[in-house]
Amino acid sequence: MKLQTESLKKEMIAWRHEFHKYPELGFQEVRTSKLIAELLRSFGLKVYEKFGKTGVVGHLERNKAKKLIAIRADIDALPIEEKTSLSYQSQRNGTMHACGHDGHTATLLGAAKYLSQDKSFDGNILFIFQPDEENGGGAKAMIEDNLFKKFSVSEVYALHNMPGMPVGYFATRENTITASENSFEIEVISKGGHSALPNMGGDAIQIASQIVNSLQTIVSRKIDPRKKAVLSITEFITNGKKNILASKVVLKGDTRCLDDDTKAIIESELRRICQSITAASDASCVVKFETNVPITYNSKAPTQNLTKCVIDTFGKKNIESNCAPMLFSEDFSFLASQVPGCFVLIGNGSNGPNAEPLHSPKFDFNDEILTLGSCLWVNLAKMISKH
């Protein structure tokens, strides 16, 4: 198939800019969802709204005898004040499409429009527009709304733009592709007291500081150096005042890794360090550790399908088919844990706002890759429908 027509490209750009101008946070994507549903309906698809709270699903069914594949785009934005000077910059204070979900959504809409107008297509596609990816709640909400009970999907796919990676380039891998995200909260409880009389009290800040330092030895001393993991403490909250020793400190942070064995080591070491340090300091602690998003596992068959489709469409030199796994997390993992799936990265370009890191106030999705992404989805749908 040729790349998309110029008029569809212009439409995708217009949709993307509209989403970009009016970004909405997770589970608040009311305007976004309404526009998606209107477009899907105008393409002639069967549309399901309020799926997983603010999600939308479009169903294209041409041949019941063939399998149904699902392609997912995330639709939510981030609580970031945009610092670009784009003509279509965010009109909403403190909210921004800084992860390119505006682009993922427009890409999938483009594929939905193309396939619904293509009379020769005789497969079945579920277009999933998923809310609240950033907080890891959207995919779960759609599954709880019986996404995979209502539709018997055999494979699920998703893409994410990758700043700094060249336009026209893709990367994926079999097995783990993105990390699990686990958050922890440690409450350190001591006696507190007068700042001039530490001998009579207890200083939770001093104890928590030891914990902060010691937690940094988990990745460097307890994890096999051949494996990847990261642990960051991101909040240190105390109830101390100028002349009052803190009796309570709350430490918060998160840790990411690429397999469940590593996660188990991190959790048990974190608990052991907190218990040991507080016990040795005549204090106590309460530790909470939870997995917000599991690892994304790319199954063999969908990954092979997607890799073949990229090679057939864009050429062998344009895909890294065994890329290094990423240490960010992605709640597509929930979908891919229910149905065999594949997550692929698409180059967002190496210059200007397209190369700014994801979640940067200066980031922008690259309009030039809208056609590449939708072309990938169209060709993948056609390829699988021939099976």
CB-nearer residue toward Zn ion: 241 or 359: 359
CB-nearer residue toward Zn ion: 276 or 291: 291
**Could you confirm whether 144 is annotated as catalytic?**
no
Please pick, from the candidates 12, 60, 99, 381, the single residue that binds Zn ion as defined by CB under 5 A. Answer: 99
Binding span for Zn ion by CB under 5 A among 17-25, 96-104, 167-175, 338-346 = 96-104
CB of 376 to Zn ion, least distance (A): 17
The token pair that represents 148 in the structure block: 């995979």
- What is the b/e burial string over 348-364, where b = at least 16 CB atoms within 10 angstroms of the residue's CB? bbeeebbbbebebeebb
Binding span for Zn ion by CB under 5 A among 65-73, 97-105, 221-229, 373-381 = 97-105
Q: How far apart are CA 149 and CA 328, in angstroms?
A: 29
**Could you confirm whether 76 is annotated as catalytic?**
yes
Q: How far apart are CA 55 and CA 40, in angstroms?
A: 13
Q: Would you tell me how many other CB atoms lie within 10 Å of the CB of residue 227? A: 13
Among candidate residues 11, 76, 134, 155, the one labeled active-site is: 76
CB of 133 to Zn ion, least distance (A): 6
CB-nearer residue toward Zn ion: 45 or 77: 77
CB-nearer residue toward Zn ion: 99 or 128: 99
CB of 327 to Zn ion, least distance (A): 13
Interface map 54-93 toward Zn ion (x if CB under 5 A): ----------------------------------------
Tell me: does residue 108 bind Zn ion (CB under 5 A): no
CB-nearer residue toward Zn ion: 99 or 375: 99
Binding span for Zn ion by CB under 5 A among 98-106, 108-116, 241-249, 375-383 = 98-106
Residues known to be catalytic: 76, 133
Q: Which residues bind Zn ion (CB under 5 A)?
A: 99
